[in-house]
Amino acid sequence: MPDTPLLPRRLHHNAWTTRDMAATRAFYEDVIGLPLVATWCESDRLFGRVRTYVHCFFGLADGSALAFFQFADAPDAEEFSPPIPETPFHHIALKVDKPLQQAIEQRIAAAGYGEPQTFVLDHGYCRSLYIRDPNGLLLEFTLDPPGAELIAHERQTDARATLERWLAGDHASNNCYRGNTI
């Protein structure tokens, strides 16, 4: 990474909207295991009107959170809740260790989640468990393999050159860590 004296310390929170905070709370707290660490009930003058909402935070180990807003009024929910894309290329990835990934897999199976809501992908540089939440948001629980630090160092060393190569039209894979999937 380039020498940058000022970087953000960590993610504070990532916020989304929900139309069903009870289902969102049950999923994140009861199934995934993220504790509800704060609930804010607020009314603010935003964008020309008073908006009333609840804002819930589900905590991660580093103090950051996944947060969700639910609006009291249907017109506000309509205005501020765009559809979440169905693509797997829009997601939130959370780093986990093997026991936690296994525990989450067991809890989501016990809660009745299966394909197409969940799937596993071995990227070679990590094993990823994916699941859609009740809002359609895709979560990835990422488990690093042994030697992850070496892999990260290799990718950091050539990150800029690899990007420039790809942008110039050379789209050859540089992932020598995964089996051939094509």
Q: What percent of the chain has pLDDT over 70?
A: 96
Contact 140, 129 (CB under 8 A): yes
What number of other Cβ atoms are within 10 A of residue 94's Cβ? 19
DSSP 83: P
Instruction: Give residue 108's region: left, alpha or beta (phi > 0; psi -120 to 50).
Output: alpha
Q: Rounded to an integer, what distance in angstroms lies between the CA atom of residue 130 and that of residue 112?
A: 15
Cis peptide before 116 (omega within 30 of 0): yes
Tell me: the pLDDT tens digits for 34-93?
Answer: 999 999 999 999 999 999 999 999 999 999 999 999 999 999 999 999 888 888 889 999
**119-144 average pLDDT score:** 92
pTM of the model: 0.84
CATH fold of the domain at 84-182 = 3.30.720
